[in-house]
């Protein structure tokens, strides 16, 4: 995994910064009040740097096909046109002249 070497210029861009309105915020790492505009300390971590939320990890999961659909989705489309009902399973209905209702079952 690549190491992120992103400079963090101020507290507001740190993962541990929690905003508290106009007063500034709290540093969750140190447990002290800070201002968003203060220069970041040596403990600063980019907001999206944790391995669980990095884009690289998500891309790797996608490539490894770990994201799989676990439930089957059944779609029933019903179209009403000139007084008759037509029900179609597993197809998409496109109609310009009548309204189409789609109900997920």
pTM score, two decimals? 0.40
Q: Residue 5 above 60 pLDDT? A: no
Instruction: Characterise 96 by phi-psi region: left (phi > 0), alpha (psi -120 to 50), beta (else).
Output: alpha
pLDDT digits (tens, 9 = 90+) for 8-38: 788 988 888 999 988 789 999 899 999 988 9
pLDDT digits (tens, 9 = 90+) for 44-84: 887 766 545 556 666 666 666 544 555 555 666 666 656 55
More confident residue, 4 or 29: 29
Closest CA to 79 of 95, 57, 59: 95
CB 81 within 8 A of CB 97: yes
Q: Residue 97 above 50 pLDDT? A: no
The residue assigned the tokens 């998500």 is: 58
For the chain, the domains span: 1-49, 75-104
Q: Once rounded to an integer, what is the mean pLDDT over residues 88-97?
A: 51
CB 25 within 8 A of CB 36: yes
The residue assigned the tokens 């002290």 is: 32
């Amino acid at each position: 995994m690549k190491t992120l070497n992103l400079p963090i210029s101020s507290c507001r861009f740190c993962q541990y910064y929690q905003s508290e309105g106009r007063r500034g915020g709290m540093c969750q790492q140190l447990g002290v009040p800070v201002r968003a505009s203060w220069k970041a300390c040596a403990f600063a971590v980019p907001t999206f740097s944790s391995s669980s939320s990095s884009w690289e990890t998500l891309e790797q999961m996608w490539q490894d096909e770990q994201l799989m659909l676990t439930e089957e989705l059944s779609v029933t489309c019903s179209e009403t046109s000139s007084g008759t009902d037509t029900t179609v399973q597993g197809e998409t209905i496109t109609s310009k002249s009548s309204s189409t209702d789609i109900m997920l079952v």
